[in-house]
Amino acid sequence: MSEQETAKPTAKTERSAAAKWSRRGFIGAGVLAGGALLIGVGVRPGNPVGKLKAKVAGGAGEELVNSWVKVGADNVVTAIIPHCEMGQGAHSVLAQMLADELDADWSKVEVMQAPADGSYIVSDAARMFVAPFTMNAADWIEPTWDGLFTQIGRLADVMITGGSSSIRTTGQYQMRIAGAAARKMLIGAAADEWGVPTSEITTRNSTLIHSGSGKSAPYSDFAAAAANQPMDSSPALKDPKDYRLMGKSKRRTDIPAKVMGKADFGIDANIPGVELSDLSYAAVRRAPVPGTKVTSMDAEAAKDMPGVQQILNMGSFIAVVADGYWNAQQALNTITAEYSASESPIKTTADQFAAFRDAIDAAGDDGGEQAASKGDAASAFADAATKLEAEYSAPFLAHAPMEPVNCTAWVRDTDDGAKCDIWTSTQVPLMARSAAAGALGMDDEDVTVHHPFLGGAFGRRLENDYVTMAVRVAKATGYPIKMIWSREEDTQKALYRPADVSRFKGGLDAGGRLVAYNNIFTQRHDPAEASVPGIYDIANTSVRVAEAPLHLPFSAWRSVDHSQQGFFIESFIDEAANAAGADPLEYRLSMLGANTARHKGVLEKVAEISNWSTPRGEGIGLGVAIIESFGTVGAEVIEVDMTSGRPKMLNVWAAMDAGYVMNPDGFRNQIEGGIVFGLTAAMYGEIELEDGAVKQSNFHDYQMLRMDETPAIEVAIINSGTVPIGGAGEPSTSPAAPALANAIFAASGKRLREMPFAKQFA
């Protein structure tokens, strides 16, 4: 992949960013009295550092400078990261951001997963999840917002990895400040010891230097004393010209352990004191239709199966506990069961889509809940020179993370009362703790969550259905169990990206400009703006939501509502361009509204790197889509060959503007992964219903994009210096489907309005 990066942030831009951080730092200090801490900690005995040291810095010679930085006797600096690592590289890049501000020696920087502890809730991350529109609030209301969201974060256990948020919230507003504050504390301690002004001490590669006296010392010499220094919650942050680590493609810290097979994922959990050969495993089977229960089971055959220890009807699921996963699953397979009847009228995929269409029909041209409105879309449509009507649909999707759903749980009585430990792959460790406590009737403090690496998640591990199941089985057995779901169980009994139907009426004026846009659909979850074509200047817009029943439970799926809305909106814009007889990319440029310099930039960049204006051969077409999501503006062009009658994807070009990219290689990795994820859904992703249950069961009928089908991908990074910066994990997923559909239209004249695409060419 080529590396194309444009202008670095200007000093002016970065100064404005620093000013914002300083303001927020001040506010953080300002709300101390209310018990809310922006960077988490004071350093006096009895403050959180004291409590946290035993949890995170209990090793010999380790000193906790503040909540996020510890220094070992060997001068190894450890960045304590509150987000989980699920392959997205968050651990590495957040450590980079902290280490850069700390002037740490990168070759001696390690990463530690922060424990599931309320001290590691980041106020700004909580705020972004709860009310992202407050992130740029007026100064006068900042103290109120910060204090409020710190409390909300703690009450709601908002220790979340998701929403493409790690760098733009925790990185920007926590790790950099924590690193700069720790550096200042180390300098303060050295200045006291050496009897020199702090202004005369410099730092480099985890070393304190006083040039005047010739003294120097590693950070480790002053780490303990630094912890007793006052902590500045608004330290000066580096100007981009001084970055040594930020903006650089540093290697991922988690990769060596993964390559060497040393990395622990949730499914690798070992319980201290329990030999692996002695651990019990649970296989589980839920009732097949959402909302139904197990009314009876016949387990006679299972009792005589090898290794079986217990068989449980837990009401909503059956569990078999055995001496190994294979024996547990094999025994479970012999159990027959009866289930309660479903009250849902939806039994099939056709029923679900009929319910969507009924709701949309009932809403008519002006019914439903108004999501966005401007001008008079109905009148403009009536008066339009050219009228367009189109209906699009998207299916349910499963997350299908590579690591099977699993949770190891141990519930027991101790001298201090009942306790529970769980080991699991989760994006929400504190919510997992609360879920386990709730299911057991325990206090949160009596539950300890261990959360190692995640083998993928894509939103699946924002849910805690599997945690409550595991702790209930562990409580019933009285001994630790490792529960592992089969692939079939997770494909058929999980939570899903919702299906939907979206209907459009659009009108063009005599010049081909889209002047009427009337859209209605049924599923609106998050982000709220996903359904609004806000980047375009359309004089008359009406976006509405009709309420419709949804048979399968909802779960956020990589890019959430953008995953459907991106396909709907960018396909319809493409149809408008075609109706206008315009070039699709030029048409988008001409339709851009106010404050769209970044959008213009990515469209022009993707046109350049894809050689958009160069004609392709017969049967080969280019399609484009542009979507702003999670703070990042992304445009993608896909080249597809339709000469065989089936789509063969040749190339994908993506131009992404996230403001400033902290690790270009990691960013590119996420963009490429997001594109492949989006193309997989576009081509194959479909969860169907039969008799109220999910039809698909495993990767043979829930297909992933194969290597030989995957196009070459080129990513251009645009560092526009925008503040706040954008995310990386999700923004490239949603443009992939519409860009592909538009490319297929360009190559073949066939307009695809339903996902997935592959079966339409069978």
- 428 or 713: CB nearest another protein: 428
| Shorter beta-carbon distance to another protein: residue 40 or 452 | 452
Indicate which single residue of 63, 232, 465, 490 sits in contact with another protein (rule: CB under 8 A): 465
Contact positions with another protein (CB under 8 A) in 49-88? 55-56, 58, 76, 78, 85
| DSSP-assigned letter for residue 497 | B
- 136 scored as a contact of another protein (CB under 8 A): no
- Residues contacting another protein: total by CB under 8 A: 92
Q: Is 428 in the site for another protein (CB under 8 A)?
A: yes
CB of 440 to another protein, least distance (A): 7
Q: Closest approach of Cβ 79 to another protein, in Å?
A: 10
Interaction mask 265-294, another protein, x per CB under 8 A: ------xxxxx-xxxx-------------x
- Figure out which of the listed residues 161, 292, 316, 680 binds another protein, where binding follows CB under 8 A: 316
Using the minimum distance from each CB to another protein, give the nearer residue, 129 or 353. Answer: 129
Cα 648 to Cα 1, 236, 607, 714, 736, distances in angstroms: 20, 52, 21, 17, 14
The single residue among 435, 535, 548, 627 that binds another protein, judged by CB under 8 A, is: 435
Among 44, 251, 750, 759, binds another protein (CB under 8 A): 251
Closest to another protein by CB, 258 vs 695, is 258
Q: Whose CA is closest to 514, among 493, 495, 535?
A: 535
Residue placing its CB nearer to another protein in the complex, 273 or 617: 273
Of 110, 537, 604, 754, the residue at the interface with another protein (CB under 8 A) is 110
The Cα 425–Cα 466 span in angstroms is 10
444 binds another protein (CB under 8 A): no
599 binds another protein (CB under 8 A): no
Q: Is 484 in the site for another protein (CB under 8 A)?
A: no
Residue 438 binds another protein (CB under 8 A): yes
Task: Compute the least distance from the CB of residue 506 to another protein, in Å.
Answer: 27
Give the neighbor-by-neighbor strand order of the sheet with 207-210: 201-204, 207-210, 215-218
Q: How far is the CB of 712 from another protein (least distance, A)?
A: 27
Minimum CB distance to another protein, residue 256 (Å): 4
Select from 154-162, 176-184, 387-395, 578-586 the region that touches another protein (CB under 8 A).
Answer: 154-162
Q: Shortest CA distance to 661 belongs to which of 590, 729, 613?
A: 729
Between 476 and 758, name the residue whose CB sits nearer to another protein. Answer: 476
φ, ψ dihedrals at 3, nearest 5°: -110, 110
Is there a contact between 166 and 11 (Cβ–Cβ < 8 Å)?
no
209 interacts with another protein by CB under 8 A: no
Residue 204 or residue 251: which is nearer to another protein going by CB? 251
User: Closer CB to another protein, residue 313 or residue 760?
Assistant: 313
The least distance separating another protein from the CB of residue 695, rounded to whole angstroms, comes to 24
193, 200, 254, 376: which one binds another protein (CB under 8 A):
254
Is residue 759 close enough to count as binding another protein by CB under 8 A? no
Looking at residues 647 to 666 of the shown chain, list those that interact with another protein (rule: CB under 8 A). Answer: none
Work out whether 15 is an interface residue with another protein (CB under 8 A): no
Does a cis peptide bond (omega within 30 degrees of 0) precede residue 401? no
**Given the rule CB under 8 A, which of 164-172, 426-434, 595-603, 666-674 is the region that contacts another protein?**
426-434
Give 303 or 759: the residue with its C-beta nearer to another protein: 303
Judged by DSSP in three states, 654 sits in: strand
- Say if CB 624 and CB 717 are below 8 A apart: no
**For another protein, which is the closer residue by CB, 118 or 438?**
438
Q: Rounded CA gap, 203 and 229, in Å?
A: 17
DSSP state of 535: T
Is-contact 100 467, C-beta < 8 A? no
Which residue among 32, 236, 257, 402 contacts another protein (CB under 8 A)?
Answer: 257
Q: Does 97 bind another protein (CB under 8 A)?
A: no
Q: Which is nearer to another protein, 107 or 644 (CB)?
A: 107
Given candidates 64, 231, 312, 740, which one binds another protein under the rule CB under 8 A? 312
Close Cβ partners of 608 (under 8 Å, ≥ 6 residues apart): none
Looking at beta carbons, which pairs linking 241-247 to residues 24 or more positions away fall under 8 Å? 241/11, 243/100, 244/100, 244/103, 244/106, 245/96, 245/97, 245/99, 245/100, 245/106, 246/96, 246/97, 246/100, 246/662, 247/8, 247/660, 247/661, 247/662, 247/663, 247/664, 247/719
Residues 351-370 that bind another protein (CB under 8 A): none
d(Cα 652, Cα 675) in Å, to the nearest integer? Answer: 8
Contacts of 415 (CB under 8 A, 6+ apart): none
- Can residue 409 be called a binding residue for another protein (CB under 8 A)? no
Q: What share of the chain is helix, strand, coil (3-state, %, to 5)?
A: 40, 25, 40
The two structure tokens encoding residue 360: 């949309």
Buried b (16+ CB within 10 A) or exposed e, 411-446: beeeeeeebbbbbbbbbbbbbbbbbbbebbebebeb
Q: What is the CA radius of gyration of the chain?
A: 27
Spell out a b/e string for 635-669, using b for 16 or more CB atoms within 10 Å of the CB, else e: bbbbbbbbeeeebebebbbbbbbbbbbbbbbbbbb
- Minimum separation from the CB atom of position 107 to another protein (A): 3
- Using alpha carbons only, give the angle 86, 626, 384 rounded to the nearest 5 degrees: 145
Q: Closest separation between CB of residue 99 and another protein, Å?
A: 11
Q: How many CB atoms lie within 10 A of CB 203?
A: 18
- Is residue 441 a contact point for another protein (CB under 8 A)? yes
Angle CA 399–440–297, to nearest 5: 70
Q: Does 511 bind another protein (CB under 8 A)?
A: no
CB of 18 to another protein, least distance (A): 26
Q: Which of 669, 647, 616 is nearest to 251 (CA)?
A: 669
The C-alpha angle with vertex 692 and arms to 689 and 696, in degrees rounded to 5, equals 35
Stretch that binds another protein, among 314-322, 378-386, 569-577, 603-611 (CB under 8 A): 314-322
User: Closest separation between CB of residue 301 and another protein, Å?
Assistant: 12
And the tokens for 166? 């790690």
* Closest CB 558 distance from another protein, rounded Å: 16
What distance in Å separates the CA atoms of residue 715 and residue 720, rounded to the nearest whole number? 15
* CA dist list (Å): 671 to 259, 262, 714: 22, 27, 10
Which two structure tokens, joined as six digits, stand for 436?
Answer: 């386990």
Among 221, 421, 628, 639, binds another protein (CB under 8 A): 421
Asked if 98 and 175 count as a contact pair (C-beta separation under 8 A), the reply is yes
User: Among 467, 546, 569, 585, which residue interacts with another protein (rule: CB under 8 A)?
Assistant: 467
- Return the number of the residue (464 or 522) whose C-beta is nearest another protein: 464
Closest approach, Cβ 523 to another protein, in A, equals 14
Instruction: Name which position in 222, 325, 353, 410 contacts another protein (CB under 8 A).
Output: 410
3-class SS at 285?
strand
Q: How far is the CB of 528 from another protein (least distance, A)?
A: 7
Among residues 94, 125, 282, 440, which is the contact residue for another protein, using CB under 8 A?
440
The window from 184-192, 221-229, 247-255, 367-375 that contacts another protein (CB under 8 A) reads 247-255
Nearer to another protein by Cβ, of 468 and 491: the residue is 468
For the bound state, the minimum distance from the C-beta of residue 511 to another protein, rounded and expressed in Å, comes to: 36
- Report d(CA 313, CA 410) in Å as an integer: 19
Nearer to another protein, 37 or 294 (CB): 294
User: What 3-state DSSP class applies to 512?
Assistant: coil
Coil, strand, or helix at residue 323?
A: coil
The count of C-alpha atoms lying within 13 angstroms of the C-alpha of 219, restricted to the half-sphere facing its C-beta, is 32
What the block records as the tokens of 42 is: 């004071």
